[in-house]
Chains A and B, each alone.
Chain A
Amino acid sequence: MSERLEKGLNVLRAEMDHKVKSFFSSCVHCGVCAESCLFYTETHDPRYTPIYKTEPLRKLWKKEYSFWGKLSSKLGISKPMTEADLADWEELVYDGCSMCGRCSMVCPVGVDISMVIFKVKHALAVAGFSPEGLVGATKRALEIGSPMGITMTTVRAMIKHVEEDTGLSVPMDVEGAEYMALLSSNEIALYPEYLEALVKIFDHAGVSWTLSSDAFEATNSGLQIGNKAIAGQLVQRVVDGAEKLKVKTVISPECGHAYTALRWEGPNFIGKAYPFRVVHILELLDELQSQGRIQTTGKETERLTFHDPCSIVRRGGIQAQPRNLLGPIAENFVEMADHGSMNWCCGGGGGVSSNERAEDLKLTAFNRKKSQIEETGAESVVTACSNCRMVMEEGLETNEMDIPMLGLTELIAEHLVEKRTD
């Protein structure tokens, strides 16, 4: 048995918990999950059926934990698992799955298929069967501090621009601030307006906050590639930064998987609970709005719709907040037919957008989002995840659709009432 295969199988064995055992004994291969997955519905390739992506783990479960598997092994007629059992699934798991979790919502017997796929991803990552793009991103994240190779130099340059444009200062390394804000490399590179919006809103609402020079990066390449150890290392940087500055709450930015990595999986990756709270920026803005600390004026008049980022809404639980925030500033808001926790993925989550090999498949999958947008007749689409925004902009451009993508935080900042003097 090769070393790669052994490593992979050992991870699969470590992932065999009560849930996996229950899930595999419940699955009756009904195929309902396929109809929920945009990679299947837009390609009609049965191999993208969500439960099919869990085959490596299912084979191991069958072989080592089921009655027939154990009997076959004892009788010496069991087929051994091979490297191909892992390698052949790389494309399905990394290119053909954005970890959107829509399959987990529809399984009649309650299998959390997305969770099981992540376990397979973990095994593939440790065994070294991961796409080049993600391997590179993870390396850069570990060595440089950002998957896109962004350093504090770039961040400081961005901060300078923001301070010049707003006339406000961006706090850095302020010990004892209430909130520590994180940024995603995507936002720094493509949407610096996000930081500008944060600065304006926090000034308007009188929020005590800071950035950290040790821990500015929210994204987690470890999570995207599926390597839990690396994911934990990256989370630990944020925890160290927050502990050093003694902040009460860390703010996860408009980035889907960062929220999952920090808020929900982080404590499990590092093996201990945080001494601070973690909120998504939308949660904080919603809190501030309900406390009356955010006052807006004017409304967007064009027809707007909202794309629900999977990791934030469906897997993260933040569904009402974007609607609470859009309500006061959008006159002509229309929901997509399938919205909220049953909205469709943009196609680029879970590391797919960092995987060049998956480009064509990702654009094909985007056809689902394209039809959703066309159905609403929307003139602009609002979202709260920089990755979704980037993926959708690319998709819209490829399809020659002149529909701008708007970030929700920026939209709120544009409608702030002039700074309160009290």
Chain B
Amino acid sequence: MVHLLQRHFSHCFTRPASIILLLLSLILPQLSSASVPQKHEGFPQGVSTINPGSELWREVRQRDLAVTGISQVKGVETGVLINSWGDQWARFRIENPVKYAPMVLGAVFLVLVLFYVMRGKVGIEGGLSGRMVKRFTDYERIVHWTLAIVFLFLAITGLILLLGRPLLIPLFGKEFFSLLASASKEGHNLFGPIFLVSLLMMLFSFVRRNIYEKGDLTWLLKGGGFIGDGHVSGGFFNMGEKTWYWIVILIGLAISISGLILVSPNFGQGRVVMEISHVVHVFGAIILTAVSIGHMFMGSIGTEGSLEGMKSGYVDINWVEAHHDRWAKECHENEQVISAEEYARLQGNKPDTAMEKGA
């Protein structure tokens, strides 16, 4: 008990306070054992008395009312000796984010596995044509993958920190986990601001095409093509993509700001601010991680022809017709569709060699 107190308040220890606590630590164990009658064989029965320190203890524990004392250390909440909310916070954390995170993430995985097994890859009518259209510039792809890599690193280190105790300690043991947790914490804290910068880069480079427009509601009502005949109209970005974008930006900003509050406790944040930040941070992270798993799936094995757009920047015109017909119309009007040979040339593929041509 005393050790818990010491850990919580080590930053506000002053000599008088420590002397008092030292005295308490000497007195209390004896008092507490004296208050409970012990039945030991061969020993005379104890006498039941009211713990004389319980009044003092109740006040110190602030069970009935909050009492802020005076401490020589000046700072936020340094006058609070014992705060029992800490215990409730720990319990809240274990019973909520720590419990629900694996459930939510596990559920997402399961849904995707079932989706893939039952429906298979979302294909393209007529297959891939080989004729391509430029969808994303170099810079846009760099921004996307930078954000993705940084996010994945933060997600993994964040999950290690969140789920370490229930999941990883039983697996790796306490010593290895403490090493892993320390490494994860340092990595997580350093890469956090990098995520914010990458997020802002993504905000500015993609915002223009992610504004909701006419036709997006129809897309939603048709379930993105899953409800009805499978055909649904879409612009450059369909409503699903736009919504994912705004989830990334808004929840990402929430995670970033709460993260910055958490990582720099030197600006007068009290316990309440930190706890709220923690809740926003961890629930935001769980939501973002869950949806990102869906995004990673749909952008790769879930849909034929999607990944190419983020790799080379080009997508097959048939893919465009299938998923973004309004943009396809623009591409045809602006003569942006290139042949397979032209696409190969732009990727730096060697044409027939001079030797093959018979030079």
Residues of A within 8 A of B (CB): 44-47, 83-84, 87-88, 90-91, 129
Contact = CB atoms under 8 A, between A and B. Distances in A.
Contacts of B348: 45-47
21 contacts: A44-B346, A45-B348, A46-B346, A46-B347, A46-B348, A47-B348, A47-B350, A83-B355, A84-B353, A84-B355, A87-B353, A87-B354, A87-B355, A87-B359, A88-B353, A88-B354, A88-B355, A90-B354, A90-B359, A91-B354, A129-B359
Given A46-B346, A87-B355, A88-B354, 17 more contacts: A45-B345, A45-B346, A45-B348, A46-B347, A46-B348, A47-B350, A83-B355, A84-B355, A87-B354, A87-B359, A88-B350, A88-B355, A90-B354, A90-B359, A91-B354, A129-B354, A129-B359
Contacts of B347: 46
A44 B354 CA distance: 21
Contacts of A91: 354
A91 B359 CA distance: 11
Interface band, chain B: under 10
A88 B351 CA distance: 10
A356 to B, nearest CB: 14
Most A-side CB within 10 Å, residue of B346, B350, B359 = B359
Most B-side CB within 10 Å, residue of A44, A45, A83, A129 = A45
Contacts of B346: 44-46
Interface string B320-354: 00000000000000000000000001111010011
B169 to A, nearest CB: 44
A3 B348 CA distance: 30
B139 to A, nearest CB: 14
B134 to A, nearest CB: 10
Contacts of B350: 47, 88
Interface of B: 345-348, 350, 353-355, 359
Contacts of A83: 355
Task: Name the prevailing secondary structure of the B interface residues.
Answer: loop
A45 B342 CA distance: 9
* Nearest 3 pairs of A and B residues by beta carbon: A46-B348, A87-B354, A88-B353
A84 B355 CA distance: 7
A90 B355 CA distance: 10
A167 to B, nearest CB: 53
Contacts of A88: 350, 353-355
A225 to B, nearest CB: 16
Nearest to B359: A87
A47 B347 CA distance: 9
Nearest to A45: B345
Contacts of A44: 346
A47 B359 CA distance: 19
A83 B350 CA distance: 16
B355 to A, nearest CB: 5
Contacts of A90: 354, 359
Contacts of A45: 345-346, 348
Nearest to B353: A88
A90 B359 CA distance: 10
Contacts of B345: 45
B343 to A, nearest CB: 11
Nearest to B346: A44
A91 B355 CA distance: 11
Contacts of B353: 84, 87-88
A127 to B, nearest CB: 12
Contacts of A129: 354, 359
A84 B359 CA distance: 11
B270 to A, nearest CB: 49
Nearest to B348: A46
A400 to B, nearest CB: 21
Contacts of B359: 87, 90, 129
Contacts of A47: 348, 350
Contacts of B355: 83-84, 87-88
A46 B351 CA distance: 12
Contacts of A87: 353-355, 359
A46 B345 CA distance: 8
Most A-side CB within 10 Å, residue of B346, B353, B354, B355 = B354
Nearest to B345: A45
A47 B354 CA distance: 14
B3 to A, nearest CB: 55
Nearest to A88: B353
A46 B353 CA distance: 16
A44 B137 CA distance: 13
B137 to A, nearest CB: 12
Nearest to A52: B348
Nearest to B352: A88
A138 B354 CA distance: 22
B358 to A, nearest CB: 11
A91 B354 CA distance: 8
Contacts of B354: 87-88, 90-91, 129
Most B-side CB within 10 Å, residue of A44, A47, A88, A90 = A88
B232 to A, nearest CB: 34
Contacts of A84: 353, 355
B138 to A, nearest CB: 10
A129 B359 CA distance: 9
Nearest to A84: B355
B151 to A, nearest CB: 27
A33 to B, nearest CB: 15
A244 B347 CA distance: 56
A83 B347 CA distance: 24
